[in-house]
């Protein structure tokens, strides 16, 4: 039994010698991955701001927003989402003014946090629903939006199931989660039937996000 501590130490040292190179290799791979992501982001930003002069704009606003965006990039792996952040930052640069940018900065930080928190499944689901909403001419002005929503809801669910390869239960779970982001309003159940159908519509915050991503849309606080 006296040799047990020695054996444990030898085993620990052996494992340690094997683990350290593995950690170093993973660290190097992760570093290259982050560099590739950032370069992809920068290329998109360069293209989007090629016609823009930033000389008269507030350097602090740009640097602070760039820092926040870089921190968000560290947690993202999908190219689609990286491009979305690049589009968001480009749009911000086009809306930036020489001064009085606090409302714009606040809106940017809110939208950045929302995009960072959403999965690609959720973003695609919102996009599919948006495609149906813009075809519904009466939705924006309807007194009872639920009646308008019901006209296309089944088609929306069918398309989401087909495009995203998800079950209806899973899609409805995503919609429930999106209700908590403020981008989607989940209508309360008003009929007692044998189906607990979840339906609703995109909120003003969602359309503000869409408008923000348009670099030529201007900005109103």
Q: Is the pLDDT of residue 157 over 80?
A: yes
Q: Which of 117, 136, 156 is the last residue of a domain?
A: 117
Q: At what angle are helices 102-117 and 79-95 packed, to 10 degrees?
A: 170
Q: What are phi and psi of 201, to 5 degrees?
A: -150, 160
101 and 145, same domain (yes or no): no
185 and 112, same domain (yes or no): no
78 and 91, same domain (yes or no): yes
Q: Which residue has the higher pLDDT, 73 or 144?
A: 73
Q: Is the pLDDT of residue 129 over 50?
A: yes
Contact at 8 Å (CB) between 158 and 170? no
148 and 75, same domain (yes or no): no
Q: pLDDT tens digits, residue range 50-87?
A: 877 766 566 788 888 989 999 999 888 888 999 999 99
75 and 98, same domain (yes or no): yes
Say if 220 falls within a structural domain: no
Structure confidence at residue 1 (pLDDT): 46
* Minimum mean pLDDT range among 43-52, 117-126, 174-183: 43-52
Q: Which of 86, 117, 148 is the last residue of a domain?
A: 117
Residue 140's nearest CA partner among 204, 189, 185 is: 204
Q: pLDDT tens digits, residue range 33-47?
A: 778 888 888 898 888
Q: Give pTM, 2 decimals.
A: 0.77
50 C-beta neighbours (distance < 10 Å), count: 8
124 and 200, same domain (yes or no): yes
Structure confidence at residue 72 (pLDDT): 92
The stretch 95-119 carries a mean pLDDT of 88
The stretch 154-179 carries a mean pLDDT of 95
**What's the whole-number average pLDDT of the chain?**
81
Structure confidence at residue 210 (pLDDT): 92
Say if 194 falls within a structural domain: yes
188: domain range?
A: 120-210
Residue ranges of alpha helices (H) inside the chain are 4-48, 59-73, 79-95, 102-117, 120-133, 145-164, 168-179, 204-212
107 and 155, same domain (yes or no): no
Say if 215 falls within a structural domain: no
Structure confidence at residue 215 (pLDDT): 61
108 and 124, same domain (yes or no): no
Domain count, the chain: 2
Structure confidence at residue 154 (pLDDT): 93
Say if 221 falls within a structural domain: no
Q: Which of 99, 117, 135 is the last residue of a domain?
A: 117
Say if 182 falls within a structural domain: yes
């Amino acid at each position: 039994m006296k040799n047990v501590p020695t054996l444990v130490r030898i085993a620990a040292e052996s494992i340690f010698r094997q683990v350290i190179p593995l950690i170093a290799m993973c660290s190097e791979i992760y570093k290259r991955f982050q560099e590739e992501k950032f370069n992809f982001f920068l290329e998109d930003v360069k293209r989007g701001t090629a016609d823009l002069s930033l000389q008269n704009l507030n350097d602090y606003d740009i640097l602070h927003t760039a820092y926040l965006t870089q921190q968000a990039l560290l947690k993202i792996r999908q190219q689609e989402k990286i491009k979305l952040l690049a589009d968001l930052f480009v749009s911000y640069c086009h809306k930036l003014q020489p001064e009085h940018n606090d409302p714009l900065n606040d809106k940017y930080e809110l939208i950045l946090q929302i995009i960072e928190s959403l999965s690609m499944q959720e973003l695609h689901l919102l996009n599919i629903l948006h495609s149906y909403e813009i075809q519904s001419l009466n939705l924006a002005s309807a007194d009872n939006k639920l009646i308008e929503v019901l006209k296309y809801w089944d088609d929306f669910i069918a398309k989401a199931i087909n495009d995203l390869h998800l079950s209806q239960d899973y899609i409805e779970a995503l919609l429930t989660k999106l209700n908590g982001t403020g981008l989607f309003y989940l209508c309360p159940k008003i009929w007692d039937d044998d189906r607990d159908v979840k339906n609703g519509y995109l909120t003003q915050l969602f359309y503000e996000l869409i408008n923000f991503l348009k670099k030529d849309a201007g900005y109103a606080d």
